Structure 1
Amino acid sequence: MVGAHRLPCEIPAANEPSDFAGDDTRWVLPTTILGSSLGFIDSSVVNVALPAMQRGLETGFGAMQWVINGYMLTLASLILLGGSAGDRFGRRRIFMIGIAGFAAASLACGLAPSATWLIAARVAQGAAAALLTPASLAIIGGAYRGEARGPAIGTWAAAGAFTTALGPALGGWLVDTVGWRSIFFINLPIAVAVLLLARKLPRDRGTGHAAPLDRSGGVLAVLTLGLLSYGLITIGEGAWTRGALALIAALAAAWLFIRREAAASAPMMPLSLFRSSNFSGANTLTIVLYAALGGALFLLPFLLIEVHGYTAMAAGAAFLPFSLIMGAGSRWSGGLVDRFGARLPLVVGPGVTAVGFMVLAVSGDDPNYWSGFLPGLIVIGTGMTIAVAPLTTTVLDAAPENKSGTASGINNAAARAGSLIAVAALGLAFGGTAPPDFEGSALAHAYRLVMLAAAGCAALGALIAALTISPARQSPG
């Protein structure tokens, strides 16, 4: 998740179970739905709480960028390793470790006495989510077979859409009535319930022949995205020399990561997948499209709360139509590739999304939600609905069947990485000469620039699709 919406490829991989004793499935859906809700709710709630966190911790905008990016850094970098760990050591075991780690990190977030503490806890929370997220999906994929799998996936997806839609409003209400720390403390009873339910799941032994974990690749991925985020945030605060050096170091780390993946016997990101134009194009589109969405949805609550005087609950509820459109339209958009091929929806969807960001850019001075924000959010939700399911289909169609789980994970990580880059670069919208000024006029001006940049990124995504995606549905080689 990146804000109040679902990511592409957030579906269980359609691989047959290997060692999962899935005869008794009574507890599978309740456990995985409740466990997944931790990540869904957390991702959609934290953005709404950022202004309150900033005031409560008496810190700057850069720290709030790290509150979001610390979580996405480890989640994006380690989610592929998390999936491999489940295969190797057992899905239930890794799922329970992820839940316990997420609860411990949530407690640390809620008790944070400083921004530095909170950021460190968010980094740990992202690492735990990188274990529980793929494990929960793999448990469903392993427990249900044949005709039973489709309804199970549908139930899980519907529950995820419901919790994602309600998350921001619920979180905003907690921020207004209890305080921002409560959005982390609420994870603790949920995690305890999940751990109790998880004990009822059948044990799976893991696969003794599983490939070794690509630990070096994981470390280099964290280093690359961490340096990239640090460099962009630092430049946004006016420290151009230090930021530029970090970006150079990020490029070096990225080069080492690519070399490592090319030489590894079991890479976390097989480079052979990128030989497909559809796969490369779809993932590049994912990065720029989710960069647009992540940056825009990070700054929108600040404008609503700090400039227009919305409560946190009202700011959270502002996202509800967007989430409902995506949830209601996902089944319809899933058939677009069969009807029109892959290219058309992946050009039209980002193009419509770009129009939505343009609408938000020109209407942001209007404090009235119905005229200033709802129209743009409806257009963006429509565009994303057109794009996301075909994006998932294109990625999975472009990969061999035995690599579908890895392809899904790469696309999921690409979406998170795109959002991370955008959030890190937001300081540039404030001029990049000093720590961002949150006076009303400065914030409103930065918001307008961010929405225009988001429109440009979405339009670039449409162009990428037009140039790289095959018109017809592609069968994996």
Structure 2
Amino acid sequence: MLAESRRLSTLLGLLFGLAGMGSSSAAIALPLMGADFGISVGTAIWTISLYTLMLAVTTAVYGRVSDLVGVRIPLMVGIGLMTGGALVAAFAPTYSVLLVARLLQGAGAAAVPTLGVAVLSARYAGPVRGLALGRLAATAAAVSCMGPLVGGIVEHAFGWRAVMALPILGALVLPLIWRALTGEGTGASLDVLGAVLVAATAAGLVLLVQSPSTGLVVALVGVFLMVFGAPAVAWRMRRRPHGFLPVSVVRNPAVVRSAIAASAIPASWFALLIGVPAVLVAEGWEPWQVGLLLVPSAAVALFVPRFAGPLIDRIGPAAAIAAATVGASVALLLASLGAQLVSAPLLGFVVAVVTVIFGIGQPALSAAVGDAVHEDVRGVALGVATLFFLVGGSVGSAVVGGLGEVVGLPLSLAALAVVPLLGLFVLAPQLRTTRVPG
């Protein structure tokens, strides 16, 4: 079983990483893409923002669908949309077509993080599950770290359109994991109205978070969706407590506290993936050189599962999340110093540290949520947790991209260091009530 879990978690982590590479490698292509379509780089950033939006919004949808029909069909649909969207993006004749393609790509990529974790959580238990979840997170982090380097090399050799096509590689992984995917669920019907309301409210939250770097109109749309969407979701939950968003998940303190606290981890991760290249490119570095700086982080990520799983089993998921949030805060302060000094070695070291933190925090969140809910709602619970996780990433990119333009990257990174400590405060009641295993 250990060998099987190693293979399956590595393949699912590769898929997860390819989904993340949809942002990290595509960012390298923005200048040439903008030049081809006659638009500014600021406008071209919408190809990243819309991808991230759909990635976050549809995670809970995939999670709930997997509860009802099993993992096989929604994962197949997700990978199909991800690869199809990448193919359309690569051949998009206009910028409008490219934006639609990126929406489809993001909607498909959202299936991977939620359903990958759901597969491992349902298939394994105990230390084997901890190792598998750790390996998934580590492989995903390693592939994402390689995004700027791979994107830079591919763009240099074949142009920006080839970079957009990279997620097509996900289709090659699906046949290798097909037999491990279950097609069994509860058989209940999907609460379509509930799904639409949750997706709209989640879209409002993500747009509001991204508004510092995308403008007032986006902020107003986000506020509108949240003001009308949140009460509508609450109404729907009262009408159908076992519908799309089960009351048992929303009222589960372990799920809510763990998800909110852990969202600080991708905030630091995405902040550095955007901030570090910005600092070094401004100093004259080429994108591929920045990618080389991140290669050691990818190598470090591959060793994280050796201790992440046993650590989570020994101290418990809640304590592991707490440790990761403290580490994220310290890392952001070090990154602020590195950006101020323009120290490439220090920035490279901090990215490696945050890679380790990500490799601990993400599987700890999955373990905390998976242990806290019944298997009938595990998919949607993991989807909600992943939604918070991705919103955290949006916070990190928004603070660096928005606040960074006003006060500079060093101060914006220092300000972001407060977010993990807020997460630790939210998690504190969970730490007091959770008994450490062993």
- TM-score class, shorter-chain normalisation, is 0.7 to 0.9
Q: Contact 2:296/2:352 (CA < 8 Å) preserved in 1?
A: yes
Q: Contact 2:134/2:360 (CA < 8 Å) preserved in 1?
A: no
Distance of aligned partners of 1:257 and 1:73 in 2 relative to their CA distance in 1, 3 Å threshold: farther
1:466 aligns with 2:404: no
- 1:131 offset after TM fit, Å? 4.0
Equivalence for 1:397: 371
Query: What is the SS of the residue equivalent to 1:381?
Result: helix
The 1-side partners of 2:91 and 2:409 are apart by 31
Query: What is the SS of the residue equivalent to 1:473?
Result: coil
| 1:106 equivalent among 62, 81, 86 | 86
Equivalence for 1:334: 309
Equivalence for 2:269: 293
The 1-side partners of 2:381 and 2:8 are apart by 24
The 2-side partners of 1:456 and 1:75 are apart by 25
Q: Contact 2:324/2:358 (CA < 8 Å) preserved in 1?
A: yes
How many corresponding residue pairs?
A: 433
Q: Deviations over 1:344-402 (max 9, x none)?
A: 4433321222121111112214445224x123324433444454443333333332354
- Structure 2 gaps of 5+ residues are none
Q: Contact 1:99/1:194 (CA < 8 Å) preserved in 2?
A: no
Q: Contact 1:107/1:185 (CA < 8 Å) preserved in 2?
A: yes
Q: Contact 2:14/2:143 (CA < 8 Å) preserved in 1?
A: no
Q: Contact 2:212/2:403 (CA < 8 Å) preserved in 1?
A: no
The 1-side partners of 2:288 and 2:208 are apart by 33
Equivalence for 2:161: 181
The 2-side partners of 1:136 and 1:212 are apart by 22
Distance of aligned partners of 1:354 and 1:64 in 2 relative to their CA distance in 1, 3 Å threshold: farther
The 1-side partners of 2:131 and 2:273 are apart by 32
Q: Contact 1:62/1:233 (CA < 8 Å) preserved in 2?
A: no
Counterpart of 1:219, as a letter, is V
| 1:22-41 mapped onto 2 (5 Å cutoff) | 38-41=18-21
- 1:106 offset after TM fit, Å? 0.4
- 1:101 offset after TM fit, Å? 2.1
- 1:164 offset after TM fit, Å? 3.9
Q: Deviations over 1:410-440 (max 9, x none)?
A: 2112111222344345554156xxxxxxxxx
Q: Structure 1 stretch 139-148 or stretch 261-270: which is displaced more? A: 139-148
Query: What is the SS of the residue equivalent to 2:285?
Result: coil
TM-score with structure 1 setting the length: 0.75
Q: Contact 1:97/1:132 (CA < 8 Å) preserved in 2?
A: no
Distance of aligned partners of 1:450 and 1:175 in 2 relative to their CA distance in 1, 3 Å threshold: farther
| 1:226 equivalent among 203, 215, 238 | 203
Equivalence for 1:407: 381
Q: Contact 1:91/1:139 (CA < 8 Å) preserved in 2?
A: yes
Query: What is the SS of the residue equivalent to 1:318?
Result: helix
Distance of aligned partners of 1:230 and 1:98 in 2 relative to their CA distance in 1, 3 Å threshold: closer
Taking only aligned residues, the RMSD between alpha carbons, in angstroms, comes to 4.0
Counterpart of 2:428, as a letter, is A
Query: What is the SS of the residue equivalent to 2:373?
Result: coil
The 2-side partners of 1:354 and 1:428 are apart by 19
The 1-side partners of 2:348 and 2:226 are apart by 38
Q: Deviations over 1:46-81 (max 9, x none)?
A: 344445545554544654553233223223222232
Distance of aligned partners of 1:361 and 1:410 in 2 relative to their CA distance in 1, 3 Å threshold: same
Equivalence for 1:247: 223
1:353 aligns with 2:328: yes
Distance of aligned partners of 1:114 and 1:308 in 2 relative to their CA distance in 1, 3 Å threshold: farther
Equivalence for 1:423: 397
Q: Contact 2:329/2:421 (CA < 8 Å) preserved in 1?
A: yes
Q: Contact 2:71/2:115 (CA < 8 Å) preserved in 1?
A: yes
Distance of aligned partners of 1:421 and 1:260 in 2 relative to their CA distance in 1, 3 Å threshold: farther
Which has the larger helix fraction? 2
Q: Contact 1:48/1:168 (CA < 8 Å) preserved in 2?
A: yes
Equivalence for 2:190: 213
- Structure 1 gaps of 5+ residues are 1-23, 432-441
Equivalence for 1:439: none
Distance of aligned partners of 1:265 and 1:197 in 2 relative to their CA distance in 1, 3 Å threshold: same
Distance of aligned partners of 1:404 and 1:92 in 2 relative to their CA distance in 1, 3 Å threshold: closer
- Higher radius of gyration, 1 or 2: 1
Q: Contact 1:91/1:204 (CA < 8 Å) preserved in 2?
A: yes
Q: Deviations over 1:78-111 (max 9, x none)?
A: 2232244345556444433333322221022222
| 1:49-448 mapped onto 2 (5 Å cutoff) | 49-54=29-34, 56-60=36-40, 62-86=42-66, 88=68, 91-131=71-111, 134=114, 160=140, 162-188=142-168, 190=169, 193-194=172-173, 201=179, 206-207=184-185, 210-231=187-208, 233=210, 236=213, 239=216, 243-244=219-220, 246-305=222-281, 307-371=282-346, 373-424=347-398, 428-429=402-403, 445-448=407-410
Q: Contact 1:85/1:213 (CA < 8 Å) preserved in 2?
A: yes
Q: Deviations over 1:287-344 (max 9, x none)?
A: 3333343344233323322x02222222223333334434422341323344345554
Q: Contact 2:130/2:309 (CA < 8 Å) preserved in 1?
A: no
The 2-side partners of 1:421 and 1:158 are apart by 22
- 1:212 offset after TM fit, Å? 1.5
Percent of residue pairs identical: 23
The 2-side partners of 1:36 and 1:245 are apart by 29
Distance of aligned partners of 1:118 and 1:428 in 2 relative to their CA distance in 1, 3 Å threshold: same
Counterpart of 1:464, as a letter, is V
